[in-house]
Amino acid sequence: MPDKFTIPQFTSEAEEAQWWFDHRQELAQAFQDAADKGQLQSGSVARIARERAATGSIPTTTIRLDPDDVSMARALAAKRGLRYQTYLKMLLHEALKAEEEKLARKDFSRFCLSNCSTFRLRHRIRDGSGAIFQ
């Protein structure tokens, strides 16, 4: 059993959740060993959270949500083995990324409609405006 675990950098919260799940028994044993040796420190997670908040690395945002939405988020998060706040943050991140990509495609289409004759011809073929060849 290692004295300290090396926690990797994760590319997503789902990957992080999977890592913690995969190593849960080793971590539980390490906690038990530390407790048996009297080396378990209390409040360290809260201390780290306070330190992060003090440095401003992750801003805190408060929003009001419908209680039914919170209940649904709790249930769906539990199915994924996540806390509901983490799950909501993940959903928000994915929705914002999808919206950004959608707007980028729309902007590109507008550019092409006004600047690309080939694109205009293909667009007319797709929408049935009378062109018979591509």
Evaluate whether residue 81 is within a structural domain. Answer: no
Summarised one tens digit per residue, pLDDT across range 27-66 is: 888 878 877 787 766 566 656 666 766 776 677 788 899 9
Rounded to whole angstroms, the Cα distance separating 26 from 52 reads 26
How is 43-104 classified by DSSP, letter by letter?
SHHHHHHHHHHHHTSS--------HHHHHHHHHHHHHHT--HHHHHHHHHHHHHHHHHHHHH
Percent residues over pLDDT 70 in the chain: 63
Evaluate whether residue 20 is within a structural domain. Answer: yes
Which pLDDT score is estimated for 71?
94
Evaluate whether residue 70 is within a structural domain. Answer: no
Evaluate whether residue 100 is within a structural domain. Answer: no
Which pLDDT score is estimated for 128?
55
Rounded to whole angstroms, the Cα distance separating 15 from 94 reads 15
Q: Which of 2-6, 7-11, 44-48, 85-89 has the lowest mean pLDDT?
A: 44-48
Evaluate whether residue 115 is within a structural domain. Answer: no
CA-based radius of gyration for the chain: 25
Residues in the chain: 134
For residue 88 the two structure tokens come to 């909501």
Which pLDDT score is estimated for 41?
64
Domain residues for the domain of 19 are 10-60
Evaluate whether residue 107 is within a structural domain. Answer: no
Percent residues over pLDDT 90 in the chain: 18
Tokens 């507008």 locate to 110
Identify the CA nearest to 25 among candidates 51, 53, 5, 11. 5
Evaluate whether residue 134 is within a structural domain. Answer: no
- Rounded to 5 degrees, what are φ and ψ at 42? -95, 145
Is 101's pLDDT higher than 70? Answer: yes
User: Contacts from 41-44 at CB under 8 Å and sequence distance 24+?
Assistant: none
Number of domains in the chain: 1
Evaluate whether residue 84 is within a structural domain. Answer: no
